[in-house]
Structure formats: structure tokens, C-alpha cells
Structure 1
């Protein structure tokens, strides 16, 4: 089982309920399929078990135009203690159709690669690894729907993996505070996990995390993630990790991942 894949699935499950029952065979089967298809993304974490439903590979649907980008107005970002409840309101989040999500998957992947080509060194040779869309589960009781994109940069056998997930939680959504999610990550992923929070405008939250863990080959790995919980109830999770058994500096900082997570083009 690929520990790093499981870590990313945990981070994507932004709920405050304790872990519920699940079928371990389903988890093993899903991870085995992903490993057979490609080397899985790494997030430097060992031994986290989640109940993650397999995602359907994106099938291009009817042409759907991307939402217009918001005006270039800098949001008000204020450091916080992670105590703001999310999502705003009563936890009822508008749900896009499955056709909409499927059609947006390749568009989001193209947009992400255009952004990365402008920001990453040419030597990193960013290339697409996987693009998935569908329904996703996690260790928490409610699931999420959306698009997951993994990009591979650097050498084939020793590079890094950047995953961008654009999700909407399914209703009814259990509201939570980011500090509660961080506390669970310290238990489920690594006690070394550090979290920083910022309130963004009215209702948005930005959370960045970093952790050091030992991968399955005994190599100490550093993982970074940034999650932008938007005021509209959707969220973007950007995760960065290296290759199992390889010590290599990561090419982006937590602040740079946070900037990417706030990209207005990463919307469903």
C-alpha cells in the first residue's frame, strides 16, 4: 500500500467527525489499481488508512466554458488561529452536475499546466500524470466531488509530484474549524505536522501544512500542502511531495502553493 497516496486522501477529507467503519479490502484494491496505472503521488506519510472510493477517469463531455476569472483584486488575507467555521452558512453547498465536473476536468488540467509553465523552471519538465473526476471518499463520513490532477516534474525516477484537487463537499456538509483538521492530521499523519491559517475576505480560509515523515523505504521525506477553502463552499487542495526513497529539495514553498491554490481559474 502506498502510504503517500493515503496521506493525500486523508488531507482531502475535510471533516470533523471521527473515523467511521470501512472495508480494508476496498482500500487495498483502490491503491493497487492506482499503483499499477502510474507511480502514485507522494506526500511523505506512513500508515494512514482511509476508505477512499475509486474515482472515474474524466471523460470529455459537452464543451463547457470555464467561468470568467475574477477581477484582479487582491483579497484581504489576515493570519488567524484557524477558528473560523467553514463552510459559511448552514452547510448547504450548491452542487455542480456530474456532466459539468467531467467537462471541467481537462480544462482545469490545461489551465494548471499553463500556469506551471510560467512559474516552474523549464528544466523541471512538468508533464501530466493523471486527470480524474468523480466522487471521492475519505476517513470522514461525507464525501466530495470534483477533479484531481497530478503533475510530475523533474527526472522520471527522482522527481516530484504536484497534485491539485478542486472539490465540492457533498450535502449535508458538516461544518468544521481548520484547527480541528490539523489536530487530526497530527494524529493520523504525523505529530510533526505544522499548520498555519489565514482568513480570506469574508468566509474564505487558507490553510498550509508541512510535515516530515519516513517513507516505506526509510527515507525522511518532507511534504507540503495548501488548501483554500472558498467562501462559496468549494475548495482547492494543492499537495507537493517527492519520490519514495529519494531525498530531493521540493521546488515550491508553502507560500507558493498557497498562491497556486487561490488561482481564480481553478474552479468547477
Structure 2
């Protein structure tokens, strides 16, 4: 039915007693407005449904390698921690060793260490600040642990090396030389040197690791860091040196 037919039908229906304010054109416009609004609402609903369906379906339509690539892009990259410089690692070993000695010998004063990569500068009491370049077979670290007892200042001598261990050479001229098994099965070689006197003039201990690393600590009847400070006997016993080389708080490797 056309708009004109609707208008004529309504006029005939109210012709006998028409309302005072009746206007068929106004009524037709209102009907058309309602129909337009209803169509717009239906269109919006359909569009919303299409978007919702597409949002659920789209991930499944993407190629899997694209998904993997997107996932890889959001992953954070972690870099390996920077390596500790050899000089700093050497000094850390010395500091830990000094702490361990101070804990075992509370009577000692001014306990501190000075460690460097490579071998000693010869003579060992040289004041040169430039160490020679490392060569094949040179120690990993060397240093002294300084201390002061009732007699005066002196030091322990420490060598950490991968050059191997020769027990025969270690025990040469030793008055007493023995392998001592520790509680964890580790073998520590201990040497005491009297050097023709009645007092111990030198004590040395050596610990060997499965990795091939060897740690040697020595105490002398003089100061090995400068060649002076002669005394009657060693400042630290062989038992203390063994405890130092076995201290688990020191990361020798």
C-alpha cells in the first residue's frame, strides 16, 4: 500500500467526525520516523554482531609462524652477567683469605691482603707497579696476606696455579712432609721445614682440586713480601694454614 492510499484511507475513516487537530501528513511523518529508527537500530545490531564474530575468528585465521613471530617480539632478552675482571677476582680471594685468618687468629692485628693475577714481581719485595706479562705456566693469582702479631708485621705467601703439583719437589728439604685427609676426603699436603734449627723456619700447605687447580700457602720466619723482619719461628702454624686452604667460604676456583 502506497503512502497516498494510506492517507486517503485515514481521511475516510475520520471524515464523519474528524478530531479538531487531526493532520494526516503529521501522522504519516511520525510513522516513517519510527520505521527509520527501527531500521537504524537493526543495522547497528547487525554490525556489532559481525565485529564480535570477526574478533573471535581472526586469531585462528593468522598464520602460526606469524603468531610465533609476534610472541618472540614481546619476549625480553636477557644478557649474560658481565665477567669479573681478573684483578678484582684476585683481590676478592685475598680479602676472603684475610677474613678467614682474622677469624682463626683473633690476636692478630692489621690483617689485610694484596692479590694480583699472574706471578710475583721478582724480587718479591720490588716496588715496581708494573707486573710483567703473563706467560705459559704462570700462576693464576699470587699475593700476600699481611698481619701483625706480638713480634711485629709480617705476611703469608699465597700461590694459586694450574701448572700442576709435584709432591717430590714440594717435600724436598722438608723435615716433615705428609698428606693429611680432610673430613670431606680432600687431601692437603703439609710440609714443615726446620732448616737445621730447633724451630720451624717455614711451613707450607698445598691443596689440589679435581679441576687441576693447586693452592699453596706458606708462612716463614721472615716477611716474604719484603725479605725483612727476621724472627725465631713462623707466625702461623701449619694447622692454621690447612684450615685456611680448606675454608669453604673462599671460592678458589
Instruction: Indicate the structure (1 or 2) with the bigger Cα radius of gyration.
Output: 2
TM-score normalised by L of structure 1: 0.46
Larger strand share, 1 or 2: 1
Larger helix share, 1 or 2: 2
**Greater relative contact order (Cα < 8 A, sep 6+):** 1
TM-score normalised by L of structure 2: 0.49
